[in-house]
Copies of this chain bind each other. A is one copy, B any other.
Amino acid sequence: MIEDKNQSRTSLSDLGEFGLIEHLTKNFTIKQSSTIKGVGDDAAILNFKSKHIVVTTDLLVENVHFDLSYMPLKHLGYKAIMVNLSDVYAMNATATQVTVSIALSNRFPLEAIEELYAGIETASQIYNVDIVGGDTTSSTKGLIISVTAIGEIDSNDIVYRNGAKPNDLLVVTGDLGAAYMGLQVLEREKEVFKVNPNNQPDLDAYTYIIERQLKPEARKDIVKLLKDLNVKPTSMIDISDGLSSEIIHICKQSNVGVELYENKIPLDPQVISTCEEFNIDSTTIALNGGEDYELLMTISQEDFPKIKGNPNLTVIGYMTEKEKGMHLVTRGETLIPLIAKGWNALNDQE
């Protein structure tokens, strides 16, 4: 008889579905006063009193949205929450609850799912959201994570995508393109590893961009900053598909045009150096890279003094009349029409 040497692997079928859910949720704590009842009944009960409620949902599929050969499960759990909270913050709201559903094949032992949930729990602690429900089931192939995030907001504070006006400033948080370049480095190392599994990669030059890919942070701090600065954007969206695609969403929904200045787009030095190494144009990456989870907003010109010089906010262009179209103004002062290449999940697979 062959002995199982891998003693730390607990089979999911040993626990059963109810056992698994109980095991995974037993440490969940309630932090929000709006959570009346979390996990453990047919549904969660929430009470937001006079506040409006924000609801958003995203689905992450193995080998479409993430690759477990370089994505640690703990990071994946964390990122699954970030992706959704980012949408809540893009409404200028406070995230309060999430539900998390996972489907997984029997190739995952309990310990792997504990890792995933550890990341989910860490995110919920840091971002102060309650995990109030979910579903755990099997898949015939791979891991699928579905998160729904809920938030609260005073109706006066809501910022939609459709409020941009001509002459408003186009403002972005943080820097762009890093998550995409981090992914390129990880993909390259995966190929190197396939050829020579003993190769020890030196990734010191890429720590920032790899972290941006593996452990992005949603910009909760920006919602607070805008409140502190007494600035209410005229429109806002989060950057998940790429700057270009998100600007076009705002323009179309707000019926305005835009002039985006290439030389204003914030790039981290690691993005620039890695782009040079990979021989890719860094502007193309910033425009189309995706997964940055920064916030893109338009603000009225009169609010400019309030944000001027703030290191978190960069003015990258301004909105125009719709008839003027949507353009990138290059370093050579040429106008190029903006196109949404974005990150098109439906074209990404074979």
Contacts and interface: CB of A to CB of B under 8 A. Distances in A.
A30 to B, nearest CB: 14
Interface string A24-59: 000000000000110011111111111011111111
B45 A91 contact: yes
B43 A56 contact: yes
Chain A, interface SS category: mixed
Identical copies of this chain, number: 2
Nearest to A105: B349
A102 to B, nearest CB: 8
A225 interface: no
A167 to B, nearest CB: 23
Given A61-B138, A133-B57, A140-B64, A42 B161 contact: yes
B135 A59 contact: yes
A241 to B, nearest CB: 8
A55 B64 contact: no
A316 interface: no
A20 B99 contact: no
Contacts of A136: 346
A144 B141 contact: no
A238 interface: yes
A345 interface: yes
Contacts of A97: 55
Q: Which of A50, A87, A346 has the most CB of B within 10 A?
A: A346
Contact of A64 (B49, B103, B149): B103
A137 interface: yes
Given A59-B144, A97-B55, A148-B99, A137 B346 contact: yes
10 contacts: A40-B253, A41-B160, A42-B91, A48-B48, A48-B53, A59-B146, A63-B140, A138-B346, A141-B142, A144-B144
Top 6 nearest A-B pairs (CB, nearest first) are A43-B56, A146-B146, A42-B90, A59-B101, A42-B87, A148-B148
